[in-house]
Amino acid sequence: MQDIIVITGQTATGKTSLALKLAQKHGGEIVNCDSRQIYKYMNVITGKDVGKTKFIEESKLNNFSIGFFPVLTKFNNFSARFLPVFTNLWLYDIVKPDRYFSSFDFKQCALYVINSLKSRGKTPIIIGGSYFYLKHLLYGVDTENIPPDWKLRIKLKDKSVDELQKILAKHSTQLISQLSQSERNNPQRLIRKIEILQSRAKRRYVQPLGLEIQTQGSKTNEKLLLTKKLSLENMQIKFFGLKFKNKDLLQRSVEKRVEERLKHGAVAEVKKLLKMGYSETDPGLKTIGYQQLMMYLKGAIDFDTAIQLWINKEVQYAKRQYTFMKTDKNIKWRKV
């Protein structure tokens, strides 16, 4: 039995289905690693596969909701009766859509859950396509000891990409010249870069990597590190990477997924979120699908254009996912 199982890869490749099969086989529980599914009220477009089960909150960690959904894996035939078999799916619905949630926050929450599962003899099955979250959890990053600066983030929240680039350039023209095109146009990444540079300017040194969290029912803090050295040398990790065989299959799969989510109420979900007071500038709603449907509902584009934009963005995202992930030589790829 592996200490940890990791399932990652491109969007719409069937990662959840594989995770449920492995959970049943290894006596595991699933730990979500999708940067959109961590948000509450965003269920249809993000593809949360939880059916009608209800969220069970186990604890609070820095005001984050840590809990799980019981998810059906199969039915056992016992004395001519079919009895449902469930596994737990963790780290959905951690925060509301208007709250920032960083890879630093994710690592904090994931370590709590992994520690809890290991203490109960369960195999954590980490699943998701948000590779930056996964990379931070397994390998660490040299800035992980710099926590989010929420006051700064609120101040920069409504700045345009151009304004954020100018602010970052004032701190470091060298750094902004080294950013990829994707990073240059990603407001959350730009804000994080500004945050890191401002933090470093206030400090003369960076402390060693480490994260201390309060374990359930314990009076003492237990230091947990899934750094590159500890996780890959001292823990047995099985990696699965799922990717499409070709571009045509990717295109068809994304089109099918978008169609299914429309049938399941994607437009109604966006209307409800807008009615609740959330907007396209909230961190959670800066998400493919939501952005395009909000443009449609506000009359900026017609319905067909919104759907085509949604599909195009999903396909582009899937291609970027593999570009980033293929540099990780620990991932063993499977074509689907």
Mean pLDDT of the 270-281 span: 97
Per-residue pLDDT at 209: 32
Mean pLDDT of the 83-103 span: 89
Query: With bands split at pLDDT 50, 70 and 90, how would you rate the model's confidence at 289?
Result: very high
256, pLDDT greater than 80 = yes
178, pLDDT greater than 90 = no
Each residue's pLDDT tens digit, 195-223: 888 887 765 433 333 333 333 343 333 33
| pTM metric for this prediction | 0.77
Q: Which residues of 76-111 are buried (b: 16+ CB within 10 A; e: fewer)?
A: eeeeeeeeeeebbbbbbbbbbbbbbbbbbbbbbbbb
**Residue 208: what residue type?**
P
Binding residues for substrate: 11-16
100, 107 contact by CB (below 8 A)? no
Query: With bands split at pLDDT 50, 70 and 90, how would you rate the model's confidence at 186?
Result: confident
Per-residue pLDDT at 64: 95
Q: What residue spans of the chain are helical by DSSP H?
A: 15-26, 103-119, 131-139, 150-156, 161-171, 173-178, 181-184, 187-202, 228-234, 247-263, 266-275, 290-297, 303-325
Token reading at 73: 């894996």
22, 5 contact by CB (below 8 A)? yes
Per-residue pLDDT at 175: 81
Residues 71 and 317: their CA atoms lie apart, in Å, by 27
Among 41-55, 122-136, 202-216, 281-295, which is the least confidently predicted range?
202-216
pLDDT above 90 covers what percent of the chain? 60
Residues 106 and 303: their CA atoms lie apart, in Å, by 35
Each residue's pLDDT tens digit, 23-75: 989 999 999 999 999 999 999 999 998 888 999 999 999 889 999 999 877 64
Per-residue pLDDT at 8: 97
Query: With bands split at pLDDT 50, 70 and 90, how would you rate the model's confidence at 229?
Result: very low
Query: What integer best gives the mean pLDDT of the chain?
Result: 85
Which among 189, 135, 182, 193 is positioned nearest to 317, based on CA atoms? 182
Binding residues: 9-16
Binding residues for ATP: 9-16
